[in-house]
Amino acid sequence: MTVVLRARDIHTYYGKSHILRGVSLEVREGEIVTVLGRNGAGKTTTVRSLTGLTPTRNGTIEIFGHNTTRWPAHRIARLGVGYVPEGRKIFGSLTVAENLKVPEVRPGAWDLGSVFRLFPRLLQRKSLLGRQLSGGEQEMLAIARPLLLNPRLMLLDEPSQGLAPLIVREVIEMVRHMREQGLSVLLIEQNAPLSLLISDRAYVLDDGKVVYDGAAAALLKDRELVNKLAGAGGNVGVGSTRGDRPQAITSEQRQG
Ligand code: ATP
């Protein structure tokens, strides 16, 4: 299977702080790959390195066969790499419609029509300001923006953070839908059970290093291992009690 993203032994620093200490990971075409890890493990730093926002100091990054290690963020984005940052960086003082005026449109299946079909609530709230939206609606807007760039690879940083359980399921379902539309996805998540449920493979980071690399299904079955490697975040089941297997997401729940 074609590898769309490959990071080899990357080391990233903030000033003198050595945060990523040799992270290697890959995403193959059509995969959803999840990255788990406790707070401060280096998940956001990993995505920022991959997108060129916090360039890595050592190691190499290849995206769609290009060595992008030293590329600036805008050049990486132009390859067809969508990025949904942590904390939904939407424009609060602009309307939903204005937020969706992206600077560069790559031709493809995603346009305003298909985005509004996927997120009907955004259509209903088209004239509201970004800051007037609920957390879930803001997340949808944050996902819709890069979709309009028709990316081939999407990187999402904790899209479920701070959202109500039902909305979390909806967001996770959106990610699955993206894959069905042909995107490859790297998903950073705290919500281990749900992200593992839709993922093919998983990595767990701890203290800037990869401490697990394997099938998502294997981690999904081993809640104790997730807790050990990824900490409390691995134990956040949506509406489930400890030891429950997460349930598949139904259309009724999505409409809920
Ligand atoms: P979280 O789930 O809390 O977002 P994370 O796994 O995404 O955590 P990172 O945000 O990548 O972790 O942070 C990794 C480490 O880097 C932490 O120790 C954090 O304090 C540190 N760090 C993050 N951003 C900066 C920064 N701008 N300057 C200095 N240190 C930083």
For 191-248, how does the pLDDT look when each residue is reduced to its tens digit (9 = 90+)? 788 899 999 999 999 999 999 999 999 988 888 888 887 775 444 333 333 333 344 4
Counting from 1 in the atom list of ligand 1, the atom nearest the Cα of 208 is 14
Q: Which residues contact 101 (CB under 8 A, 6 or more apart)?
A: none
57-72: per-residue pLDDT in tens? 999 999 999 999 999 9
- Asked whether the predicted pLDDT for residue 162 surpasses 90, the reply is no
| pLDDT at residue 103, rounded to an integer | 66
**DSSP code at position 171:** H
Q: Whose CA is nearest to atom 2 of ligand 1?
A: 39
pLDDT at 252: 36
- The pick from 13, 39, 46, 89 for probing ligand 1's pocket by mutation, whose C-beta has the most ligand atoms within 8 angstroms, reads 39
CA distances from 107 to 44, 80, 148, 231 (A): 29, 11, 9, 41
CA atoms within 13 A on the CB side of 89: 7
- Closest-CA residue, ligand 1 atom 25, reads 14
Rounded to the nearest 5 percent, the helix, strand and coil shares of the chain are 35, 25, 40
pLDDT of residue 57: 95
DSSP state of 92: T
Q: How confident is the model at residue 15 (pLDDT cuts 50, 70, 90)?
A: very high
Helix (H, G, I), strand (E, B) or coil at 1: coil
- CA–CA gap between residue 51 and residue 237 (Å, rounded): 29
The CATH superfamily holding the domain 3-89+150-255 is P-loop containing nucleotide triphosphate hydrolases (3.40.50.300)
- Please provide the average confidence, as pLDDT, over all residues in the chain: 86
Residue 95 has pLDDT above 70, yes or no: yes
**For helices 135-147 and 165-180, what crossing angle results, to 10°?**
10
- The domains of the chain are located at 3-89+150-255
- 23 alpha carbon – ligand 1 mean position (Å): 15
From first CA to last CA, the distance across the chain in angstroms is 37
The residue whose CA is least distant from atom 3 of ligand 1 is 39
State the average pLDDT over residues 173-201. Answer: 91
